A and B are shown apart, each in its own frame.
Chain A
Amino acid sequence: MPIDGVRRRALALLLASPTGTIGLAIVLFFLVLALLAPLFAPYDAIAVSSENVLKGPSARFMFGTDGNGMDVFSRVVYGARYAFGIAVPVLLLGMALGVPIGLYAGYRGGWFDEITLRVMDALRVFPSIILALAIVAATGHSLFNVVVVIAVLDVPLFARVVRAEVLALRRSGLAEAALAAGNPTWRILAVHLLPNCLRGAMAQVPIRMAWAVRVTATLAFIGVGIQAPTPEWGAMIRQGSEYMISGEWWVAIFPGTALVILIIGFSMLGDGLEELLDPRSNNSSR
């Protein structure tokens, strides 16, 4: 099957890009951490040790303990679960909604396209963090709401990218040929157009993952969406920020560093993919 071959070749090309390789390595590292967290974490993420509140890094607690007496190292490890656990559903949901919208808008044109463009414009108008914040605060602080809200914010992006690809493909006559061959609309969309549009969408994936991780952490830092004592990195930074000035730096610095490294990893992976899929592409890197 041609797609398999493409994948193998893609992987080889990706590895040829140093940025992409490093990015992939970082992402895989955290993924392994997330999947095998109990293997790596010496303690349970929410186990409390009441005599060891705010102790510095030591042999027993490698990254020290936080304000509730919980081991920071274990919480950072389990935090990887939350990072992926939120970013992946966000991505899937965003694509599941955005790709079909973009496909249909690009193919059909007309009023659907117009409305889609207007709505996408409207969403662009507003700083997304505030929007996400307001919606989550209004609808209730739950992980589910956070995932849905961030995913919805990603939808315009995927829609736009896919729509652009569809428009390009339309010009190439692929769609007309399929139509002439007697294919119904849904088949044209699903079988002929979709696979070719996914390229552009796929290139966006790592960057959107980085964005999802980042927004979740920011929301958690502000105090929205994540329920204590969940070991989410943003929530940990929130607690740690209060102790930065009194000297207990480890509570915020370690989760913060993990956050930064993972986001950079995704970004590098995204860069590598971009080079691979379209060396001269200028996709938005928001």
Chain B
Amino acid sequence: MHGRSGSSWLVLTLFAAALATAATAAPAQSPRTLIVAAPQTPTGFDGDLPKVATRQMVTQVYEGLVRYKRVTGTDGRVTLDATQVEGHYAESWTVSPDGREYTFKLRRNVKSPFGNELTADDVAWSLDRAWAVKRTSFFLYNLIGLTKWEKIAKYEIKMILKAPNLIFLPMLTMYFPPLYDSVQAKKHVTTDDPFAGKYIDQNTVGFGAYHLQSIKPGEQVVLTANPNYFRGKPWFERVIYREVPSTANRVSLLKTGQVQWVEDLPLKQIADLKKDSTLKVESVTGTQPATIRMNPNIKPFDDLRVRQALVFATDYAAMNRSVFEGLGVRVRSTVSPGVPVAINAFTGERDLPRARALLTEAGYPNGIDVNLNYAGTYWWMEPVAIQFKNQAAEAGIRVNLQRLPDPEFVQRGLVVRRDMALATQGDASFVLDPVFMVWIFGHSMGVANRNHYKSDAFDKLTMQALAETDIRKRSDMVADLQRMHANDASWIMLYYPGVHQAMNRCISGWVWHPDDWPRFFDLKQDAKCAK
């Protein structure tokens, strides 16, 4: 065929063929999918050896023997009751009279996606692994005195503590230690890798609601529902976790409805989104205080008066206004609000004359020069640093800002180093227990005591509180500890930025957990709700 008519027939044929291909390429019935936009996709899935963005994944796959009881408030919101622990993988448990031995009876038919049932062998193996790997789980549980565990029966396991400790049970609500399907994991054990480290890092082997389906490094991770999950199927059978590094892009995607769930937005964006009626933002104070911490072992912060001067030089209201959009909740002690026995240990406000007087008293009548370290580990660090620099200048405190690369900042804040004199710090406590919080932030070897606050009296009282089983005495001790810490003024207590979860309007069911990550199992989408 030549000429024009020939070529137009050719075009038509091609066009028809294209249409046909498009038509036959119609997708099959797709599972209910939640699409999440996050700054980074996980690169590893080992809860004990966490890498970037590991924690978000681990919480969907690995769950605890117990959990906090949920209560529904008058506003319909479901929250966790920090005072009540109930069984999750464990059906029930008994505690020996001396408070040291916990015997857990495991629930039947808790199955992994591989079809294996949770047994005491799995729990034992998981603990063995945690001890062998010697990372987070080991650290946490070793410190509270877990020394031995033994399998009693197929579904029974006993755990033995060095001394009674009321934090033990609340800690078991976390995903430490991750409980692995040891039958499956053992298939990937080698002589060099006796605990399947490689396999566990790149695959999920848990009993939880979700299971890793696929990874595209740097792009996305897909989770799929565990078909054998003991609590049934979640509403969202599939979760696509997309990497979208720019906050502006994440916001845009949420607004246009292309994703339904967004992670990690700065408060400015949150404040804007709250005003947007097509979206939903749910907020909780959380357990992560934004603070500036002083190291009392480094001059000039070894002088209480200097520390107090910085505390009184800070303009708290202005900080909240400019950095936290007025949405921050004031930090008053090392225990976050909502946790039992949280008291207002620090009730001060800005007091410039007092700050200057304190400085003069301490021997700095013409003001003082200090370096403030911060990094990009949290979005609020730089804005806070800049505001603080301005505010402190009004009291004669000349702040030199020194931003450090994230890895260096983290390194220097480790318990093994702790050599920054003045730094912004933010830490979240995973356990909703006041003694735990006071301990990690204030005990001289506390894992989150990054400014190396050291007081023998404080340490002694903390250890007593840890071992105390009488609730009343324990509460009194915790109150004292909070006051002690506040009076020693090593923290400039700012605000809880809060945990603000931005989601599509039609999504509901979010329950806040102390690790700040959602459980996708809880979520559902209102089918009648127009997107």
Q: Could you list which residues of chain A lie within 8 angstroms of chain B, going by C-beta atoms?
A: 46-48, 50-51, 53-54, 67-69, 137, 141, 223, 227-229, 241-246
B249 with A245: CB separation less than 8 A: yes
A229 with B269: CB separation less than 8 A: no
Selected A-B contacts with CB under 8 Å, 9 pairs: A46-B390, A48-B386, A50-B321, A68-B322, A68-B387, A69-B322, A227-B401, A246-B248, A246-B268
Within 8 A of A (CB), among B447-495: none
**What is the distance, in angstroms, from A159's C-beta to the closest C-beta of chain B?**
33
Question: Which residues does chain A contribute within 8 Å of B321, judged by CB atoms?
Answer: 50-51, 53
Residues A67 and B401 in contact in the complex (CB < 8 Å), given A242-B247, A242-B248 = no
Within 8 A of A (CB), among B372-387: 376, 382-383, 385-387
B383 with A68: CB separation less than 8 A: yes
Determine the distance from Cα of A67 to Cα of B401 in the docked complex, in whole angstroms. Answer: 17
> A-B pairs with the 10 shortest C-beta distances?
A50-B322, A245-B248, A50-B318, A48-B390, A68-B386, A229-B386, A53-B322, A50-B321, A242-B248, A69-B322
A243 with B386: CB separation less than 8 A: no
Determine the distance from Cα of A137 to Cα of B406 in the docked complex, in whole angstroms. Answer: 12
Determine the distance from Cα of A278 to Cα of B332 in the docked complex, in whole angstroms. Answer: 72
Within 8 A of A (CB), among B234-249: 246-249
Determine the distance from Cα of A244 to Cα of B247 in the docked complex, in whole angstroms. Answer: 11
Question: Looking at chain B, what size class is its interface with the partner chain?
Answer: 20 to 34
Tell me whether B84 is interfacial, beta carbon within 8 Å: no
Tell me whether B251 is interfacial, beta carbon within 8 Å: yes
Question: Which residues does chain A contribute within 8 Å of B246, judged by CB atoms?
Answer: 242
**What is the distance, in angstroms, from A54's C-beta to the closest C-beta of chain B?**
7
Q: Scan B214-253; emit 1 where CB is below 8 A from any A CB, else 0.
A: 0000000000000000000000000000000011110110
Determine the distance from Cα of A67 to Cα of B385 in the docked complex, in whole angstroms. Answer: 13
Tell me whether B405 is interfacial, beta carbon within 8 Å: yes
Question: Which residues does chain A contribute within 8 Å of B386, judged by CB atoms?
Answer: 46, 48, 68, 228-229
A141 with B405: CB separation less than 8 A: yes
Question: Which residues does chain B contribute within 8 Å of A245, judged by CB atoms?
Answer: 248-249, 251-252
Determine the distance from Cα of A228 to Cα of B372 in the docked complex, in whole angstroms. Answer: 12
Q: Scan B399-423; emit 1 where CB is below 8 A from any A CB, else 0.
A: 0011101000000000000000000
Determine the distance from Cα of A242 to Cα of B383 in the docked complex, in whole angstroms. Answer: 14
Question: Which residues does chain B contribute within 8 Å of A141, judged by CB atoms?
Answer: 403, 405
Determine the distance from Cα of A8 to Cα of B531 in the docked complex, in whole angstroms. Answer: 71
Determine the distance from Cα of A193 to Cα of B98 in the docked complex, in whole angstroms. Answer: 94
Determine the distance from Cα of A50 to Cα of B394 in the docked complex, in whole angstroms. Answer: 14
Determine the distance from Cα of A141 to Cα of B403 in the docked complex, in whole angstroms. Answer: 8
B252 with A227: CB separation less than 8 A: no
Q: How many A-B residue pairs have CB under 8 A?
A: 58
- CB contact between B390 and one of A47, A51, A54, A137 (< 8 Å): that residue: A47
Tell me whether B75 is interfacial, beta carbon within 8 Å: no
Tell me whether B192 is interfacial, beta carbon within 8 Å: no
Determine the distance from Cα of A275 to Cα of B341 in the docked complex, in whole angstroms. Answer: 79
Tell me whether B272 is interfacial, beta carbon within 8 Å: yes
Determine the distance from Cα of A141 to Cα of B402 in the docked complex, in whole angstroms. Answer: 10
A243 with B390: CB separation less than 8 A: no
Question: Which residues does chain A contribute within 8 Å of B405, judged by CB atoms?
Answer: 137, 141
- CB contact between A48 and one of B247, B248, B387 (< 8 Å): that residue: B387
Question: Which residues does chain B contribute within 8 Å of A227, judged by CB atoms?
Answer: 401-403
CB-nearest residue of chain B relative to A227?
B403
Determine the distance from Cα of A246 to Cα of B254 in the docked complex, in whole angstroms. Answer: 13
Residues A246 and B251 in contact in the complex (CB < 8 Å), given A47-B390, A48-B387 = yes
B403 with A228: CB separation less than 8 A: yes
**What is the distance, in angstroms, from A271's C-beta to the closest C-beta of chain B?**
36
Question: Which residues does chain B contribute within 8 Å of A54, judged by CB atoms?
Answer: 268
**What is the distance, in angstroms, from B391's C-beta to the closest C-beta of chain A?**
8
Question: Which residues does chain A contribute within 8 Å of B401, judged by CB atoms?
Answer: 227-229
Question: Which residues does chain B contribute within 8 Å of A51, judged by CB atoms?
Answer: 318, 321-322
Q: Which of A48, A53, A244 has the most CB of B within 10 A?
A: A48
Question: Which residues does chain B contribute within 8 Å of A48, judged by CB atoms?
Answer: 322, 386-387, 390
Determine the distance from Cα of A265 to Cα of B383 in the docked complex, in whole angstroms. Answer: 34
CB-nearest residue of chain B relative to A69?
B322
**What is the distance, in angstroms, from A279's C-beta to the closest C-beta of chain B?**
47
B387 with A50: CB separation less than 8 A: yes
Question: Which residues does chain A contribute within 8 Å of B322, judged by CB atoms?
Answer: 48, 50-51, 53, 68-69
Q: Scan B254-295; emit 1 where CB is below 8 A from any A CB, else 0.
A: 000000000000001100100000000000000000000000
CB-nearest residue of chain A relative to B325?
A53
**What is the distance, in angstroms, from B326's C-beta to the closest C-beta of chain A?**
11
**What is the distance, in angstroms, from B504's C-beta to the closest C-beta of chain A?**
18
Determine the distance from Cα of A228 to Cα of B319 in the docked complex, in whole angstroms. Answer: 17
B251 with A67: CB separation less than 8 A: no
Question: Which residues does chain B contribute within 8 Å of A229, judged by CB atoms?
Answer: 386, 389, 401
Question: Which residues does chain A contribute within 8 Å of B252, judged by CB atoms?
Answer: 245
Question: Which residues does chain B contribute within 8 Å of A244, judged by CB atoms?
Answer: 248
Question: Which residues does chain A contribute within 8 Å of B376, judged by CB atoms?
Answer: 223
Q: Scan B285-320; emit 1 where CB is below 8 A from any A CB, else 0.
A: 000000000000000000000000000000100110
**What is the distance, in angstroms, from A220's C-beta to the closest C-beta of chain B?**
12
B269 with A246: CB separation less than 8 A: yes
**What is the distance, in angstroms, from A238's C-beta to the closest C-beta of chain B?**
11
Question: Which residues does chain B contribute within 8 Å of A228, judged by CB atoms?
Answer: 382, 385-386, 401, 403
Determine the distance from Cα of A50 to Cα of B390 in the docked complex, in whole angstroms. Answer: 10
Question: Which residues does chain A contribute within 8 Å of B390, judged by CB atoms?
Answer: 46-48
Question: Which residues does chain A contribute within 8 Å of B248, judged by CB atoms?
Answer: 241-246
Determine the distance from Cα of A99 to Cα of B110 in the docked complex, in whole angstroms. Answer: 76
- CB contact between B268 and one of A46, A67, A137 (< 8 Å): that residue: A67
Determine the distance from Cα of A228 to Cα of B424 in the docked complex, in whole angstroms. Answer: 15
CB-nearest residue of chain B relative to A48?
B390
Q: Which of A46, A51, A69, A141 has the most CB of B within 10 A?
A: A69
Question: Which residues does chain A contribute within 8 Å of B268, judged by CB atoms?
Answer: 54, 67, 243, 246
**What is the distance, in angstroms, from A270's C-beta to the closest C-beta of chain B?**
34
Question: Which residues does chain B contribute within 8 Å of A223, judged by CB atoms?
Answer: 376
Determine the distance from Cα of A242 to Cα of B321 in the docked complex, in whole angstroms. Answer: 20
Q: A50-B387, A246-B272 are in contact. List 4 more A-B contacts (CB 8 A).
A: A67-B268, A137-B405, A242-B246, A245-B252
**What is the distance, in angstroms, from A240's C-beta to the closest C-beta of chain B?**
11
Question: Which residues does chain A contribute within 8 Å of B251, judged by CB atoms?
Answer: 245-246
**What is the distance, in angstroms, from A259's C-beta to the closest C-beta of chain B?**
20
CB-nearest residue of chain A relative to B379?
A242
Q: Scan B77-93; emit 1 where CB is below 8 A from any A CB, else 0.
A: 00000000000000000
Determine the distance from Cα of A223 to Cα of B376 in the docked complex, in whole angstroms. Answer: 10
Determine the distance from Cα of A42 to Cα of B251 in the docked complex, in whole angstroms. Answer: 34
Question: Which residues does chain B contribute within 8 Å of A243, judged by CB atoms?
Answer: 248, 268
Question: Which residues does chain B contribute within 8 Å of A67, judged by CB atoms?
Answer: 268, 383
Q: Which of B318, B319, B322, B376 has the most CB of A within 10 A?
A: B322
CB-nearest residue of chain A relative to B246?
A242
Determine the distance from Cα of A147 to Cα of B272 in the docked complex, in whole angstroms. Answer: 39
Determine the distance from Cα of A51 to Cα of B318 in the docked complex, in whole angstroms. Answer: 8
Question: Which residues does chain A contribute within 8 Å of B383, judged by CB atoms?
Answer: 67-68
